[in-house]
């Protein structure tokens, strides 16, 4: 009888422990500080791996890519497509695709002499020419290898600016100018609307903004080395009227619901 009573008492203790959320043989203590720290470190490591090699968020701060991208758009950028960059190194890992003409691309800008506080910002523009291409612009119309590249209707509705505007930064073009082409000789002084012909060197890319009169792009700072490319924007995951809203807290009260999920082309 004594042994049965002992067994019954042991069984009751085990049930009580289970009801209390403890193991009958355990110490009854919750996760240790080290276990919690390991869980946090693992989460951070996964986040950094995804951010470095797969996807990264990017915010549009200016109107240089209107109407494709608007101020206040937040994008997911596919970093794996063109080959992720290893931070703090000059190493780019292989990607599964190459930047192609017409792609919208995120990249590190060539050195911009006129902004010493941020000389190499990360930018997003449209890739319009690759190594070996000949490019020029006449009357605001861009030509690629002799073929005019008219923008779509939406982009053509962007406000026009002073096409005769020139800037000392345009002088980078001079060593790359070519003569005797169907485009005629380059103008003595390049302007926003009239420059080139230029030949894009091997391993280099040429970028323009879709909003041609409100875009500081390749016309100002030149060709982009292929290794500067950081990714391809995929879609808009959040958007609000950052530059035109008169509502308080526009990031909450003036969201562009219709843009969320838009694929970037």
Which of the residues are catalytic?
64, 125
Cα(189)–Cα(129) distance, integer angstroms: 22
Asked if 130 and 99 count as a contact pair (C-beta separation under 8 A), the reply is: yes
Burial group, residue 208, by CB count within 10 angstroms (0-12, 13-18, 19+): buried
Closest CA to 212 of 195, 193, 199, 198: 193
Closest CA to 99 of 223, 239, 236, 259: 223
Query: Measuring CA to CA, how many Å separate 186 from each of 2, 28, 168, 181?
Result: 108, 82, 16, 10
Cα(243)–Cα(146) distance, integer angstroms: 38
Which residues make Cβ contacts (< 8 Å) with residue 180, sequence separation at least 6?
none
Instruction: Find how far residue 61's CA is from the centre of its chain.
Output: 12
Cα(199)–Cα(143) distance, integer angstroms: 12
Which runs of consecutive H residues, i.e. helices, occur in 99-237? 153-156, 218-221
């Amino acid at each position: 009888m004594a042994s049965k009573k002992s067994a019954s008492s042991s069984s009751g203790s085990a049930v009580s422990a289970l009801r209390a959320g403890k193991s009958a043989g355990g110490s009854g203590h919750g996760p240790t500080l080290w276990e919690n720290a390991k869980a946090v470190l693992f989460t951070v490591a996964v986040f950094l791996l995804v951010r470095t090699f797969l996807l990264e968020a990017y915010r549009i701060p200016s109107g240089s890519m209107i109407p494709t991208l608007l101020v206040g758009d937040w994008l997911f950028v596919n970093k794996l497509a063109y080959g992720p960059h290893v931070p703090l190194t000059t190493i780019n890992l292989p990607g599964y695709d190459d930047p192609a003409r017409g792609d919208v691309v995120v990249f590190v800008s060539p050195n911009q002499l006129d902004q010493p506080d941020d000389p190499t910002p990360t930018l997003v523009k449209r890739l319009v020419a690759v190594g070996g291409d000949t490019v020029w612009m006449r009357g605001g119309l861009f030509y690629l290898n002799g073929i005019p590249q008219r923008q779509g209707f939406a982009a053509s509705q962007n406000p026009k600016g002073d096409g005769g505007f020139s800037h000392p930064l345009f002088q980078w073009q001079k060593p790359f100018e070519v003569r005797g082409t169907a485009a005629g000789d380059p103008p003595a002084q390049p302007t926003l609307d009239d420059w080139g012909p230029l030949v894009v060197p091997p391993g280099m890319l040429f970028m323009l903004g879709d909003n041609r009169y409100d875009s500081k792009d390749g016309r100002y700072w030149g060709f982009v080395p292929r290794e500067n490319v950081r990714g391809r924007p995929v879609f808009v995951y959040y958007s609000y009227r950052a530059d035109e809203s008169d509502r308080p807290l526009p990031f909450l009260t003036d969201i562009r619901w219709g843009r969320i999920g838009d694929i970037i082309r």
